[in-house]
Amino acid sequence: MCSYKKNGKAGSTRNFYKDILASRWKCVDLCRHTLRAEKALYDGHFDTPKSLRSARIVPLAEKAFRTLGKLRSSSARPDDLVFSLDTGQSLDRHNQLRRQLRPTCKNLGPRGIAWHSLRHSHATLLAAAGAPLESFQSLLGHSTSELTREVCLHAIPEDQRRAVANVKALLFGPKRTQMASAS
């Protein structure tokens, strides 16, 4: 678990599920394909996110907004939670981890996966896809790009091999003057 101090208070980078579990239907815009993260769920109580950047609008992938469109019942009210128990109460992240995420990962193969692992994977894949650091800083709700870089980015072995191969090609590949005379 990665943690850091923010404004003198201990915090952690494992907050994305807190935003998701606090989401209400009024924060889901199925026309614009966005989710407005404006509240966070901290062990059963709702609060404002810990920083100004944590309150943000997050674009939804097509599959995500289609799934949300199917989940939304015709009787859903704007203040209803998007993800809740049948009673309307909020989900508990520990129960969801134990009952849903870990059994699913066990069936698929990965071990030791937690909510925080998904956040790190998301950041690393955004970087591998070439997204600008500022974009995924904003998506993750981090206050600084340094925080994003230091806490959530991890190297992908194939990207490391490709980078080394690119440097090798620059250093030992055909010289530009050789390429021009060969034409």
Cα pseudo-dihedral 137, 143, 149, 154, rounded to 10:
-60
Strands 9-12 and 3-6: antiparallel
Instruction: Quick: pLDDT tens for 7-39.
Output: 333 333 345 677 788 899 999 999 999 998 888
pTM of this prediction exceeds 0.75: no
Instruction: Please name the amino acid found at residue 176.
Output: R
Torsion 80-103-14-93 (CA) sign: positive
Q: What is the pLDDT of residue 176?
A: 61
Domain that holds residue 111: 3-182
Average of per-residue pLDDT across 98-121: 85
What residues contact 88, with CB distance under 8 A and at least 6 apart?
A: 80, 81
Rounded-to-integer distance, Cα 148 and Cα 134, Å? 9
Q: Please provide residue 85's backbone torsions phi and psi, each rounded to the nearest 5 degrees.
A: -75, 170
Q: What is the pLDDT of residue 5?
A: 33
Q: What is the pLDDT of residue 1?
A: 28
Structural domain count, the chain:
1
Q: What is the pLDDT of residue 14?
A: 41
**22, burial (CB in 10 Å: exposed 0-12, middle 13-18, buried 19+):** buried
Q: How many residues does the chain have?
A: 183
Q: What is the pLDDT of residue 10?
A: 34
* Inter-axis angle of helices 133-140 and 115-128, nearest 10: 160
Rounded-to-integer distance, Cα 108 and Cα 183, Å? 52
Instruction: Quick: pLDDT tens for 54-102.
Output: 778 888 889 998 999 999 988 899 999 999 998 999 988 889 889 988 9
Token pair of 114, please? 């937690």
CATH code of the domain covering residue 150? 1.10.443.10
Q: What is the pLDDT of residue 15?
A: 56
Q: What is the pLDDT of residue 170?
A: 85
Instruction: Quick: pLDDT tens for 130-182.
Output: 888 888 788 888 888 887 777 777 777 887 888 888 888 888 887 666 655 55
Q: What is the pLDDT of residue 177?
A: 61
Token pair of 54, please? 């944590």
Q: Residue 152, Cβ neighbours under 10 Å: how many?
A: 22
In terms of pLDDT, which residue wins out, 129 or 24? 24
